Structure 1
């Protein structure tokens, strides 16, 4: 039986090739890591060096996937990852009491300047706009997120990241760039 990075047999010990590349990309984006060795699909180890020059090997161990596993990120996971990956912050974690269940609505964040924050996540519903429609920036961000959550190529990921940046800085962008971002989002949504 032939296997590929996307079609692995159940119980395979070889990590998904795209996940290996994604982990390597995440390490390269960290301000704490100065060097990441080239990685390719099928690798089971990623080698990297931290800011102090210490070398590490990150080894993958694959476990059998949970068929009931949710395929989407939850808000608390997204908040922790976004803050933890920002260059101004050293770490972000869900609040872990000394015993008992993990708190899914409280995040602790530590900044490079030494400030520690406790952030409380509260769900609420925001009106989208007066007519009940989403904003153009939200539409652009949604199209980009859909592309990032699919099995996208490197160029598609780069396009999605650029669209996310434009959406996040919407008020600072000029009209031609906004229109171009909306056109790209419509084209992506039509696929």
Structure 2
């Protein structure tokens, strides 16, 4: 490693340290337009306190459970879509459609905008050839390289690289040009392997 990119200290990295989960949850809550206040959280906290738009206070308690070694570590597409739309500032909520007393419909999502428009979104799987296709944006190209790496039974270091690429892709608009260029170069390298 160079001094420009020092090695990650896994004992101190907030990206890999479970002690920072309360801080991450508090940060996620702060990004919601429906939550007006979130109390500061520190690494190691076991509760997060917040107030909703109606002024009601809530306390989230983090209770650790023994991790399931067989549990999947990747979100399903429908969960990712619901979370992305529901967390966007122009939407009030997004949810999988659930008719009364029936199981969730994993192909249908209901989304409500701030302006009062409600949409029913139908999720249909479509397959595209992966090959050397160009993606719509450089961020999509970086995310695609990370996804390919994660589906190839990655080592711990490859998983860390993929997680970092996914983070850069998800926050593309806030990243500086050198980091974007570095992520694109890494994505190209991974694509040729």
Normalising by the residue count of structure 1, what TM-score does the alignment of the two structures yield? 0.67
| C-alpha displacement of 1:149 | 6.8
Q: 1:148 to 1:59 in 2, by over 3 A?
A: farther
Q: Which residue pairs with 2:90 in the alignment? A: 88
Q: Which residue, 171, 175, 187 being the options, matches 1:162?
A: 171
Give the 3-state SS of the residue equivalent to 1:20 in structure 2. helix
Q: 1:139 to 1:23 in 2, by over 3 A?
A: same
Distance 1:105 1:87 in 2: 23
Equivalent pair of 2:34/2:52 in contact (CA under 8 Å) = yes
Q: 1:41 to 1:180 in 2, by over 3 A?
A: closer
Distance 2:32 2:162 in 1: 21
Q: Which residue pairs with 2:40 in the alignment? A: 38
Q: 1:110 to 1:49 in 2, by over 3 A?
A: same
Q: Which residue pairs with 1:170 in the alignment? A: none
Q: 1:52 to 1:102 in 2, by over 3 A?
A: closer
Give the 3-state SS of the residue equivalent to 2:128 in structure 1. coil
Q: 1:134 to 1:115 in 2, by over 3 A?
A: same
Q: Which runs of 5+ in 1 are unaligned?
A: 7-14, 167-176
Q: Which residue pairs with 1:183 in the alignment? A: 182
Give the 3-state SS of the residue equivalent to 1:79 in structure 2. helix
Alignment deviations for residues 56-102 of structure 1 (CA, whole Å, 9 cap, x no partner): 21112233322221110110000000010011111111111222322
Alignment of 1:123-142 (within 5 A): 123-127=125-129, 132-135=131-134, 137=138, 138-142=140-144
Distance 2:134 2:54 in 1: 45
Q: Which residue pairs with 2:25 in the alignment? A: 23
Equivalent pair of 2:142/2:187 in contact (CA under 8 Å) = no
Equivalent pair of 1:144/1:161 in contact (CA under 8 Å) = no
Q: Which residue, 119, 122, 130 being the options, matches 1:120?
A: 122
